[in-house]
Amino acid sequence: MAIDSKTLHSRLKEFFGFDSFKGDQEKIIRHLTSGKDAFVLMPTGGGKSLCYQLPALVMEGTAIVISPLIALMKNQVDAIRGFVDGNDGIAHFLNSSLSKAQISEVREDLLSGETKLLYVAPESLTKAENIEMLKEIKISFYAVDEAHCISEWGHDFRPEYRRIRAIIEDIGTAPIIALTATATPKVQSDIQKNLGIQDAAVFKSSFNRPNLYYEIRDKSDPKRDIIRFIKQNPGKSGIIYCLSRKKVEELAELLNINGIKALPYHAGLDAKTRAENQDRFLMEEIDVIVATIAFGMGIDKPDVRFVIHYDIPKSLEGYYQETGRAGRDGGEGKCIAFYSYKDIVKLEKFMQGKPVAEQEIGKQLLLETVAYAESNQCRRKLLMNYFGEDYPQDNCGACDNCLNPKRQFDGQEEMCLIIELVESMPEHFKIEHLANILAGESNALIKSYEHDKIEFFGAGKDHSFRFWCDVIHQGIVRHFLEKDIESYGLIYVTEQGREFNRKPYPLMLTEERHFVDGEDDDDDLPAGAARSGGGGDQVLLAMLKELRSDLSKKLHLQPWILFGDPALEDMSITYPVTCDELRNCQGVGEGKARKYGKEFTELIAKYVEENGIERPDDFVVKSVANSSSANKLFIIQGIDRKLALEDIAAARSLEMDELLSEIESIVAAGTRLDLDYYIRQTVDDDVVEEIYDYFRNEAKSDSVEDAMADLGMDYDETEVRLVRLKFLCEVAN
Ligand code: ADP
Ligand code: MG
Ligand code: ZN
């Protein structure tokens, strides 16, 4: 018997404090309360929970809510208990975290009819004793939340979800409501079939989130990009998703070092830390949470202003769900994802150990992601189409492709050339190999196949290697070519490709959508290093070197003692004009900047002024030191307290040699340490003087190796290293 609208509204107000329903909520609730199945597709934040919570409270019996997220259950149950004061029995959850005593409490409340809502984890639902217990009670309906978990084509497949129908039959049937935020037409039909609700009324709200802005960025220098973005958006809350825990940790640390309040969140952290970090984000003590995908399910922070994908997600479902956490309040929500094809290759490699069927699916989902990332069409339109919805406009005005349309060219001939090349060879090759052949760039592999002798070699030499890689990718996305992951990415021509080559037609390809291959995962380069080796202002660099040489003569110091080459190169790139800015250059600490920097910044300021140079509104990303910063801090404090180096080493389980390396990297970063107390005790005064003089007057660099070679066998390496440190701290830093 359906419940009338007036009653529903008054319950809505009474229990949840809301004045009106959102979207289709009321329709859905009336449908369910009249005893019929429902299938709800509503974007994240749309208000799905209420579609079963309210009916559960007003209907006779207990509603069984199947949800995959144990952590979330407790929150939801607490929330319901909060609505209905003083009656904790009203909602319960059943999952593996409960003790025996807690389970019997649940049982009691269930049997007495007090419980209106029971959240169950799918694996608990399969347990015989739970099934027996549920058989004894009256069930109002079953809600299957996050229903996409049923489908292998969803982004979060859970095998136990496929048994739900059979278990429901066993316990006793009742209406079913399935809910999800992400369902392609394929997933949607999987869900309905599997739950046996083909006849259910489907309530599909638009998935469009007009307030979200979508952008795909080239992953050439993502850390820098991210830091810049956050600095341009001070005080705003954001989530950054990375695929690995390691990356999460690293990035969170890097952000902190660069003055951004951020914390990590991933499944490797203990529950307490995770809860704390999440709370601090919700309470806005920190601005940014860096997380693996585990974060965000069930958190309900309305004003997340940006969601950044450091790594391209494995599927568009996942991507859309995660971006959906931005701008829930309808306000600004910027969604930026970094993309490089290298990441795709990496993800494909991870899949190789999996069963073939799973690989096939994974590969398809990934391909959709590549197509999305590389496309020059409106991203909103692509996403809507992906979720089976039409987006009638061509220009949404809120995605990178609509705001900056990419140039296109007719790539008909180029595509045919690639197809012919692949077809001409009896064996199959990878993208890079094919691109090299067409661009006419030889290498050992090409020579070994004598591919530099075939007619195709250099057939497309008007274009670069990169260009050909891009066109091949676009061919894959359009299904003219296929990349086989089992054979490590060899390229095949598809039937569609052959057809195209037989009867080609104009084919608009994107120009200059040039995704630079990403950085490697472990390349936390020291500040500026990524950009050194050219790229700087060569005229300025020459002037800086001249100045260094003049000054070093005047001060009777070796040039390297003033500033090393990497520091000068950084100056020629970032044009620092203040002491503070200078400190961002490699190997320049506060002391050095103050002691020797003035002439350099003055020269740069004059140069900038005279040449009308626009200085980059730029900054150097301060990098995470190789070892843990905790170690560094401990060492610096130990030396301040004049502890024997042996004791410091022992406390940190370091060899003396390792400790010295740590100290060297601390000093190289520009921190000054006073090691005299230790040197005086352990090194002979004369020896100190001799080595010190050597560095001051003879050394051509601060290399320990050179020093050992120059000084001869009379000196112990540890002594040389210690005195060198003393010298660097006193003179160079
Ligand atoms: P979903 O599960 O669809 O992602 P939730 O059920 O978590 O979304 O709801 C998202 C937010 O919307 C919650 O903060 C919830 O309190 C709020 N909400 C739900 N229904 C209404 C309503 N009728 N009026 C106002 N806010 C609502
Ligand atoms: Mg939900
Ligand atoms: Zn658009």
SS3 212: strand
Domain with CATH 3.40.50.300 in the chain: 5-204, 212-402
Ligand minimally distant from the alpha carbon of residue 46 = 1
Burial 453-468 (b: 16+ CB within 10 A, else e): eeebbebbeeeebebb
Domain with CATH 1.10.150.80 in the chain: 525-619
- Expressed in angstroms and rounded, the spacing between residue 190 Cα and the centre of ligand 2 is 20
619: exposed, middle or buried (Cβ count in 10 Å: 0-12, 13-18, 19+): middle
The token pair that represents 113 in the structure block? 């009819």
Interval 13-38 mean pLDDT: 93
- Expressed in angstroms and rounded, the spacing between residue 369 Cα and the centre of ligand 1 is 29
- Of 13, 50, 144, the one to substitute when testing ligand 1's pocket (max ligand atoms within 8 A of C-beta) is 50
Confidence at 532, pLDDT banded by 50, 70, 90: very low
Alpha helices in 86-212 (DSSP H): 100-111, 122-125, 128-135, 164-171, 185-195
Identify the pLDDT of residue 186. 84
Domain 412-506 has CATH 1.10.10.10: yes
- Expressed in angstroms and rounded, the spacing between residue 71 Cα and the centre of ligand 2 is 13
The model's pLDDT over 600-653, given as tens digits with 9 standing for 90+, comes to: 999 999 998 888 877 766 565 666 555 556 677 778 888 888 888 998 888 888
- Expressed in angstroms and rounded, the spacing between residue 332 Cα and the centre of ligand 1 is 18
Interval 329-339 mean pLDDT: 93
Domain with CATH 1.10.10.10 in the chain: 412-506
* The CATH number of the domain covering residues in 525-619: 1.10.150.80
Confidence at 486, pLDDT banded by 50, 70, 90: low
Atom 12 (ligand 1) nearest CA: 47
Architecture of the domain whose range is 630-732: Orthogonal Bundle (1.10)
Identify the pLDDT of residue 521. 45
Identify the pLDDT of residue 520. 47
Identify the pLDDT of residue 298. 57
Residue pair 52/143 in contact (Cβ under 8 Å)? The answer is: yes
Q: What are phi and psi of 397, to 5 degrees?
A: 75, 5
Atom 18 (ligand 1) nearest CA: 47
Q: Identify the sign of the CA torsion 640, 645, 646, 649.
A: positive
The token pair that represents 554 in the structure block? 């005047």
Whole-number Å distance between alpha carbons of 379 and 290: 24
SS3 518: coil
Domain 212-402 has CATH 3.40.50.300: yes
Ligand minimally distant from the alpha carbon of residue 73 = 2
Pocket of ligand 1 (CB under 6 A): 18, 21-22, 25, 42, 44-50, 181, 300
Atom 17 (ligand 1) nearest CA: 47
What's at 282, amino acid-wise?
L
Interval 229-246 mean pLDDT: 92
More confident residue, 627 or 255: 255
Identify the pLDDT of residue 711. 82
SS3 226: helix
Whole-number Å distance between alpha carbons of 348 and 356: 12
Q: CB under 8 Å to 260, separation ≥6 — which residues? A: 227, 230, 231, 287, 288
CA dihedral 426, 431, 436, 442 (to 10 degrees): -70
Ligand minimally distant from the alpha carbon of residue 380 = 3
State which ligand 1 atom lies nearest to the alpha carbon of 48: 3
Residue pair 240/310 in contact (Cβ under 8 Å)? The answer is: yes
> What share of the chain in percent tops pLDDT 90?
42
CATH topology for 5-204 is Rossmann fold (3.40.50)
CB atoms within 10 A of CB 440: 17
Ligand minimally distant from the alpha carbon of residue 67 = 2
Identify the pLDDT of residue 437. 96
Question: How far are the Cα atoms of 397, 418, 482 from residue 500, in angstroms, in the given order?
Answer: 33, 12, 14
More confident residue, 386 or 660: 660
Which DSSP symbol is given to 401? H
Whole-number Å distance between alpha carbons of 577 and 601: 5
SS3 681: helix
Interval 164-188 mean pLDDT: 92
Identify the pLDDT of residue 604. 93
Atom 24 (ligand 1) nearest CA: 18
Interval 366-383 mean pLDDT: 86
The model's pLDDT over 279-316, given as tens digits with 9 standing for 90+, comes to: 899 888 999 999 987 676 656 788 999 999 999 999 99
Out of 28-37, 377-386, 566-575, 611-620, pick the least confident: 611-620
More confident residue, 212 or 244: 212
The model's pLDDT over 177-202, given as tens digits with 9 standing for 90+, comes to: 999 987 788 889 999 999 999 999 99
In residues, how long is the chain?
A: 733
Query: Is the pLDDT at 533 greater than 50, yes or no?
Result: no
